[in-house]
Structures are given as C-alpha cells and as structure tokens.
Amino acid sequence: MRTLRFLLRKEFLQIFRDRLMVLQMIIMPLFQLLLLASAATFEVKSAKMYVVDRDHSSASRGLISRLQAGGRFVLAGASSSMSVADEEMLGRRAAVIVSIPADFERDLVRTHMAQVQLVMNAEDGATAGVTQSYAAQIIASYAREIGVSIAPAVREGPSIEVRSRGLYNAELNYRDYMVPGILVQLVTVVGTLLTAMNIVREKELGTLDQLSVTPLGTGVFIAAKLIPLWLIALLELSLGLLVARFVFHIPMRGNLLIVFGAAGLYLIAALGIGLFVSTLASTQQQAMFVTFFIVMIYLLMSGMFTPVRSMPVWAQWMAQLNPLKHFIEIMRAVLLKGAGVTDVLRPLAAISAFGAVVLTLAVRQYGRRIA
C-alpha cells in the first residue's frame, strides 16, 4: 500500500509537471466541446431557393411568397429558364429549384389540381429530405388556404386531427442531444489515449524496464498508472458538465450521482482499452494510431451521430459490445429524460461486464509482455 502511495505521488507529479500534458488534458477537450457543441448540428435552418415561374399568376406568386414567409426558404433568384436554374444549382448558389408550370392557376381553378416541381440538391440526402418535407407541408397548407377563396366547397368528409408533442426536448434543440454524447467522447479520448501513451512513453524511454526489475508487483504498477488518469478523466467530466450546464444550458433532469457512478465504471473499460493498446505498441506513434483507430470505430458505431437501430443487424450486435454506446445511452437518459438507476440497469450491467473483461485481459496481456 505504501509503495502504491509513493508511486501515485510520482505519477501525479509527472503529469502535472508536464505543461503540455495538462494542456492536452484540460484545454483541448474543452475547446473541442465548445467547437463541437456549436458545429455539430444537422438542423436545417434555411435553404436557398431558385424559382422558375412560368405562370406569373397571383396563385404562383402567392405560393412563392408563402414559401419564403416561414424563413425556411430564402429566394436566391428567379427566371423563367430551367437551364439557368440548373446552372445556379451546379454553382451551389441554389439548393432547391421550385418550378411552377404555365397554367398553374388555371388548372387549380378548373380541375382543382395543379402540379409543382421541386428539384432538390440531394448531395446531402438527409438535409434534402428534411427540406423537401418542409416544402411539401407549406405547399399543402397553401392549397388548403386558397381552396377557400378559389373553390369555397363545403368540407364534409371525416377528418382526423393529429397533434403531436415532443418529449424531453420540446424545442427540438440539437445541442441538448449532442452535448451528452460529446462529453462521453472527450472522456473516452482522454482516458484511452493518455493511458496508452503514458505507458508506452515509459517503454520508449526505457524506464519501464527499470521499473520491471524493482520489487514492484504488476498490479501495483498498473494501479498507480490508472488511478491518476481515472481521477483526471472524472475531473474532465465534471468540467465538461459545468460547461454544458452554464454555457450551453443543457437540462440535467436526473441525478448526477448516477452519471458519475456510470462514468467511474465506464472509465475502467476505457482505461482498460488504453492499457491493452499499450501492451501492443512499442512507440508513441503506434500507440496513438491504434487508439485512434479503435476509438474511431467505437465512436462511429455508438449511435452518437446516427441511431443504432437504423444500422443493419450485424452492426447492431457489434454496437451491443460497444461500451461507448451504453454510456452515451445512460448519459442521454439521465440528463435529458431524468431516468433513475432502475431505468439504466441494462446498460450499466453491460458497461461493468465489459470493463471487467477488458481490464482482466489487459492486465494478463501486460504480465505476459513484461515477463
């Protein structure tokens, strides 16, 4: 126990003496959090609209001004030539082309039915889909509205009124959803990368060999390496939560103790991965790349950016073995939904199991490498 205490002191001194390390641990994650929280949004604010109006009627003009009214569509230009519009789209000056054929108004009055063509720049499929549904909604409501003036028919069929309520994030704020995930990412990168690099550096400098000929047990050495980083990662999480609370006003509906408890368990898994990588790598460069590779795959498959349930079945099974996915799930459930311990038992168990397995494997591998 006494040796552990000395070793811990040495580790802490070593970490905090190194300005660069402190910078890497504190400034970079916070910088990343600020940047990511601002940049990471799929929210579609407004689309540049190019109008090809061949009808020039009050109905077509009404439709255009209706599209602009909500602020979702900004007029980028208008002409009566489709090829000009096409050129604008290729030059990225227009994202949507709204084409209104001649006789639009006449058709509406005579047959109660008219055509409008939308051409979307679908390079980014998701954005195009959302923009299109906005346009369709606006056009449909416009049709209902002018129906009253053009054909005041009595509405007599049955109708269903659908109302909707968004739970947990009523204003559909993307940031509220992303920030808990970003925090998990930061803690993971700091924990895994620093563990791997820290141990490999001792290897590179040759001090690991020196340590291995001292009477220190492997367990004590590993504990002395991991405990400071574990604490630092938790500190990191606290700082991140503070920023999330006071800069981004992320709701924290649940008990923060659950968050920290889960983080403590999760970090065992994250640091375990770092330890495992350190046994494989012989240079810091290698350690960094291997960690990067693993964390990247974990991150992409974690459901942070795209929902896990949209993935193919094999990927969903892979996601079950992904501690990041479970921790992100817990963070979101506790912070946004106010979930209690009983609600997150399943992911908690998964994290603990993963942590136990990874740490055992890593320690065994480490022992084998040193011996």
Residues 16-45 close enough to bind another protein by CB under 8 A: 20-21, 23-24, 28, 31-32, 35-36, 38-45
Q: In the window 73-92, what residues touch another protein (CB under 8 A)?
A: 89-92
Q: Closer CB to another protein, residue 113 or residue 371?
A: 113
Q: In the window 111-150, what residues touch another protein (CB under 8 A)?
A: 112-130, 132-133, 135-136, 139-140, 142-144, 146-147, 150
Amino acid at 162: V
Q: Among residues 62, 77, 338, 367, which is the contact residue for another protein, using CB under 8 A?
A: 338
Q: How far is the CB of 195 from another protein (least distance, A)?
A: 14
* Binding flag, residue 261, another protein (CB under 8 A): no
Amino acid at 144: R
Q: How far is the CB of 220 from another protein (least distance, A)?
A: 26
| Among the residue ranges 7-15, 222-230, 231-239, 335-343, the one whose residues contact another protein (CB under 8 A) | 335-343
The pairing of beta strand 47-53 with beta strand 73-79: parallel
Q: Closer CB to another protein, residue 6 or residue 317?
A: 317
Residue 71, SS3? coil
DSSP letter at 301?
T
Amino acid at 187: V
Q: Among residues 169, 212, 218, 352, which is the contact residue for another protein, using CB under 8 A?
A: 169
Q: How far is the CB of 217 from another protein (least distance, A)?
A: 29
Q: Closer CB to another protein, residue 139 or residue 361?
A: 139
* Binding flag, residue 206, another protein (CB under 8 A): no
Q: Among residues 17, 71, 158, 368, which is the contact residue for another protein, using CB under 8 A?
A: 158
Cα–chain center distance at 50: 32
* Binding flag, residue 365, another protein (CB under 8 A): no
Place of tokens 């408890």: 261
Q: Are 96 and 121 in contact (CB under 8 A)?
A: yes
Q: How many Å apart are CA 233 and CA 267, to the nearest integer?
A: 8
Q: In the window 270-329, what residues touch another protein (CB under 8 A)?
A: 280-281, 283-286, 288-290, 293, 296-297, 300-301, 305-307, 309-312, 315, 329
Q: How far is the CB of 31 from another protein (least distance, A)?
A: 7
The DSSP code sequence of 233-281 is: HHHHHHHHHHHHHHTS-----S-HHHHHHHHHHHHHHHHHHHHHHHHH-
Report how far apart, in Å, the C-alpha atoms of 326 and of each of 258, 318, 322 are. Answer: 14, 12, 7
Q: Closer CB to another protein, residue 28 or residue 69?
A: 28
Q: Closer CB to another protein, residue 22 or residue 257?
A: 22
Amino acid at 342: T
Q: Closer CB to another protein, residue 256 or residue 280?
A: 280
What are the tokens at 267? 């970090």
Report how far apart, in Å, the C-alpha atoms of 60 and of each of 50, 119, 278 are. Answer: 14, 17, 66
* Binding flag, residue 71, another protein (CB under 8 A): no
Q: How far is the CB of 50 from another protein (least distance, A)?
A: 12
Place of tokens 């552990």: 4
Q: Closer CB to another protein, residue 2 or residue 309?
A: 309
* Binding flag, residue 156, another protein (CB under 8 A): yes
Q: How many Å apart are CA 28 and CA 21, to the nearest integer?
A: 10
Beta-carbon contacts of residue 299 (< 8 Å; ≥ 6 apart)? 185, 188, 324
